[in-house]
Amino acid sequence: MRKIYLDHAATTPVRSEVLETMLPYFNEKFGNASSIHGFGRDAKVALEEAREKVAKILDASSSEIFFTGGGTESDNLAIKGTALANRKKGKHVITSKIEHHAILESCKFLEKEGLEVSYLPVDSKGLVDPEDLKKAIRGDTILVSIMYVNNEVGIIQPIEELCKIAKDRGIYFHTDAVQAMGKIAVDVQKLNVDMLAMSGHKIYGPKGVGAIYIRKGVRIIPLSHGGQHERSRRAGTENVPAIIGFAKALELVNKELESQNKHQKNLTKAFYKRLIESIPHMILHGDLNRRIPNTLNLSFKGVEGESVILSLDTKGVAVASGSACTSGTLEPSHVLSAMGIDPAIAQGAIRFSFGRDNTMQDVEYVAGILPEIVQRLRSISPLYAKKE
Amino acid sequence: MYSAKVMEHFQNPRNVGEIEDADGVGEIGNPVCGDIMKLYIKVKDGRIIEAKFKTFGCGAAIATSSMVTELVKGKTLEEAKKISRNTVAEALDGLPPIKMHCSNLAADALQKAIEDYKNKRNAKDQK
Ligand SMILES: Cc1ncc(COP(=O)(O)O)c(C=O)c1O
Ligand code: FES
C-alpha cells in the first residue's frame, strides 16, 4: 500500500546526510567531551563546531547556545530556570493560552510554587494582541513567553513586536521556536529575544535533542545539577552524536529555507484548493496568511476527528488531530478552544502538515480520497443533515 | 490500538440510519468527549425487531454503535436492558482503556431508547 506521511509537525524522518554525520560519533569517535585525552578532545571539537554552527544561524554567540534533551527541556529551562532565578525581582509570568504543554505545564508548576501566571487570549485567527500583553504587564512581571509558531494551527505570532513590549520594560522574553525553525529565518538579534527554544526532530534531525539560546546576562538556574557541562546550565554528559545531528539538520533546513518554503507552500495551496472544490462545509482554522507554509488545520462539519484519522490511516495516509501529545486526552484542543471555535467543530479538527519529501502526487492522492471519507462519516453522523 | 473487530465495524458499520416511525429513540451526548449518538428502535410483541443509529464520534463510538444495534436485534426488552458497556466492548474483542467510556455512549443510548419506548406506550395506554 502507498504510504503518505502528512504529520511533519509531529515529527520528521532523520535525513540521510544527518544520519551520516552522526554515525562516527557512536563508535569511532565515542569519546566523552569532558575528557582531556585525544578521544575526548575529538568529541569536544565536534561539539563546539556544532555549537558554532547553531550560533551562526541564529546570529548569536556560541557561548549563548546550550544543547538540551529537546524542545520540552528547553522550554522548561527557560520558564522555570528564569522564574526561579529572579524571584526576588518579582513573581509574575505572562504567557498565552495556546502554548505547547511544555510551557503551560511549566507555568502551572510555577503557580504551585507560589508564582502568578497570566495566560493571554488569542483572537479567532489565533493571534495574540500586543495590547493585551501591555495590559497584562505588572510591576512584578519577570518573564514573558509567547510561542513563535503554534504547533496545531501553524499560526505565526508577531514576536518582534511582542518582544519589544517586554524588553522596553526590562522583562525577559522567551519564545518557543520549535515549529518555527526551518520555516522562518530566525535571527535572535532582530527579534531581540532573551531565550529561544529549538528541537531536533521537527527539522529532520534526531529525537531527544534540542537547544536553547540564552542571551548573555540572563539570570537563570539549571534544572539538572551535576558536572560543568553546557557551562553549568545543563549537567550531564553531552549526547554528542545527537547534538551533531541536530546542528547538521539545522544547517540543512536553513540552507534550503527558501526552496522548501516554496515547495511546501505549493503543495499546501494545491491541497487546500482541491478540498475547497470537493468538500462542502469545510472550515480552516487560523489566519490563512500568517501561517507557516506546510500546515493546514481543517474541520469538516459534522465529522469527528479520530474517525477521519483512522479512515485515512487505513489508506496509508498519516495525519493528526491537533497535536500528537493531546491525542491521549479527550478534551478538544486548548488551542482551538482559545480561538473560540465551537467544541463540536474543534472535535473534528485535522492537522495536515507537509514535508520536504511530499510530492504533488501525494496531494492528488489524499485530496482524491478525502471527500469520500468525509461523505461516509457524514452519512453516519447525526450532526450533518442530508439537505445541508 | 483497536482490535480488528472494532476496525471492521468502524469501516462497515451495520444499521446506519434513522427509523422514521421508530417506537423508541435514545439520544445521548458523551459528557467526557462531547460525542453524540442517536439510536432508533422498532418493537413488536415485546421484542426489538429493528435498530438503527447515527453517531458523531471516534472510531470506538462508531464501532460500539454498530455493535449494539446488532446485539439488540431480536432480543426482548428485558434481555436488551441487560446489555451493558462491557457486553458491547467484549463483543468487539475489547477496547483500549482510554476508550472504554466510548461504549457508554452505545449502552446509554440503548437504555434511553427503551425508556422512550416505554414512556410512549404508557402515554398511549392512558389515552
Ligand atoms: C511548539 C512545540 N514546543 C515544544 C515541543 C516539544 O519538543 P520535543 O518533542 O523536542 O520535546 C513541540 C513538539 O512536540 C512543539 O511543537
Ligand atoms: S472519544 Fe468520544 S466516544 Fe470515543
- Mean pLDDT to the nearest integer, A279-298: 95
Give the Cα-Cα-Cα angle A181, A187, A192 (nearest 5 degrees).
120
**CB-nearest partner of A310 from B27, B37, B59:** B59
Residues forming a β-bridge with A92: A116, A141
The domain boundary residue, chosen from A207, A227, A255: A255
Give the Cα-Cα-Cα angle B126, B120, B31 (nearest 5 degrees).
140
Name the band, by pLDDT with cuts 50, 70 and 90, for residue B1: confident
Statement: residue A387 has pLDDT above 60: no
Q: Are residues A218 and A298 in the same domain?
A: no
Q: Are residues A245 and A263 in the same domain?
A: no
The domain boundary residue, chosen from A220, A255, A290: A255
Domain containing A262 — which CATH number? 3.90.1150.10
Cα A195 to Cα A45, A100, A144, A369, B110, distances in angstroms:
25, 16, 10, 43, 55
- Mean pLDDT to the nearest integer, A224-251: 95
Q: Are residues A245 and A324 in the same domain?
A: no
B69: enclosing H helix or E strand? helix B59-72
Determine the pLDDT at residue A88. 95
Helix/strand/coil for A16 = helix
Statement: residue B123 has pLDDT above 90: no
> Residue A30 falls within a domain, yes or no?
yes
Q: Are residues A194 and A273 in the same domain?
A: no
The domain boundary residue, chosen from A255, A273, A292: A255
Q: Among B95, B102, B105, B109, which one carries the catalytic annotation?
A: B102
Statement: residue A329 has pLDDT above 70: no
Q: Are residues A207 and A125 in the same domain?
A: yes
Determine the pLDDT at residue A195. 98
The answer to whether the CB of B108 is under 6 A from ligand 2 is: no
Q: What is the pLDDT of residues A9-35, one digit of tens each?
A: 999 999 999 999 999 999 999 999 999
Other beta carbons within 10 angstroms of residue A327's beta carbon come to 15
- Mean pLDDT to the nearest integer, A230-251: 96
Q: Are residues A116 and A165 in the same domain?
A: yes
**Is B25 in contact with B83 (CB distance < 8 Å)?**
no
Determine the pLDDT at residue A331. 77
- Mean pLDDT to the nearest integer, A135-151: 98
- Mean pLDDT to the nearest integer, A316-325: 80
**Lowest-pLDDT choice from A14-23, A58-67, A377-386, B111-120:** A377-386
Give the residue numbers spanning the domain of A293. Answer: 4-12+257-379
Determine the pLDDT at residue B33. 78
Q: Are residues A373 and A248 in the same domain?
A: no
> Residue A88 falls within a domain, yes or no?
yes
> Residue A387 falls within a domain, yes or no?
no
Name the band, by pLDDT with cuts 50, 70 and 90, for residue A324: low
- Mean pLDDT to the nearest integer, A222-245: 94
| CA atoms in the 13 A half-sphere facing the CB of A129 | 10
**Is A120 in contact with A133 (CB distance < 8 Å)?**
yes
Give the Cα-Cα-Cα angle A270, A275, A278 (nearest 5 degrees).
130
Distance (Å, whole) CA B3 – CA A163: 49
- Mean pLDDT to the nearest integer, A233-257: 97
> Residue A386 falls within a domain, yes or no?
no
Q: Are residues A267 and A250 in the same domain?
A: no
**Is B2 in contact with B96 (CB distance < 8 Å)?**
yes
> Residue A385 falls within a domain, yes or no?
no
Other beta carbons within 10 angstroms of residue B79's beta carbon come to 14
Q: Are residues A103 and A136 in the same domain?
A: yes
> Residue A388 falls within a domain, yes or no?
no
Report ipTM (2 d.p.): 0.92
Other beta carbons within 10 angstroms of residue A150's beta carbon come to 30
Instruction: Collect all residues from B whose CB is shorter than 8 A from any CB in A.
Output: 2, 7, 10-11, 13, 16, 27, 32-38, 54-59, 61-62, 98, 101
The answer to whether the CB of A295 is under 6 A from ligand 1 is: no
Determine the pLDDT at residue B125. 82
Residue of higher predicted confidence among A215 and B32: A215
- Mean pLDDT to the nearest integer, A276-282: 97
Strand locations in A83-190 (E):
92-96, 116-120, 141-145, 172-176
The answer to whether the CB of A183 is under 6 A from ligand 1 is: no
Statement: residue A130 has pLDDT above 90: yes
Per-residue HEC secondary structure of B32-65 comes to CCCCEEEEEEEEECCEEEEEEEEEECCHHHHHHH
- Mean pLDDT to the nearest integer, A104-110: 98
Q: Which of A199, A294, A295, A297 should be mutated for ligand 1, with most atoms under 8 A from CB?
A: A199
Statement: residue A61 has pLDDT above 90: yes
The label of the residue with cell 535525513 reads A15
Average pLDDT, chain A: 95
Measured from the Cα of B58, ligand 2's closest atom is 4
Q: Are residues A26 and A118 in the same domain?
A: yes
Among all bound ligands, the one having the nearest atom to the CA of A332 is 2
Q: Are residues A224 and A262 in the same domain?
A: no
Statement: residue B77 has pLDDT above 60: yes
Residue of minimum CA distance from atom 3 in ligand 2: B102
Residues forming a β-bridge with A282: A300
Domain containing A162 — which CATH number? 3.40.640.10
With pLDDT > 90 as the criterion, what percentage of chain A qualifies?
A: 93
Determine the pLDDT at residue A323. 58
Strand locations in A301-345 (E):
317-318
Distance (Å, whole) CA B27 – CA B29: 7
> Residue A63 falls within a domain, yes or no?
yes
Statement: residue A325 has pLDDT above 60: no
> Residue A143 falls within a domain, yes or no?
yes
Number of domains in chain A: 2
Q: Do B7 and A330 touch (CB under 8 A)?
A: no
With pLDDT > 90 as the criterion, what percentage of chain B qualifies?
A: 81
Distance of residue A289 Cα from the nearest chain B Cα, in angstroms: 31
Q: Are residues A67 and A30 in the same domain?
A: yes
Q: Is B33 a catalytic residue?
A: yes
C-alpha cell at A38: 585525544
Determine the pLDDT at residue A261. 97
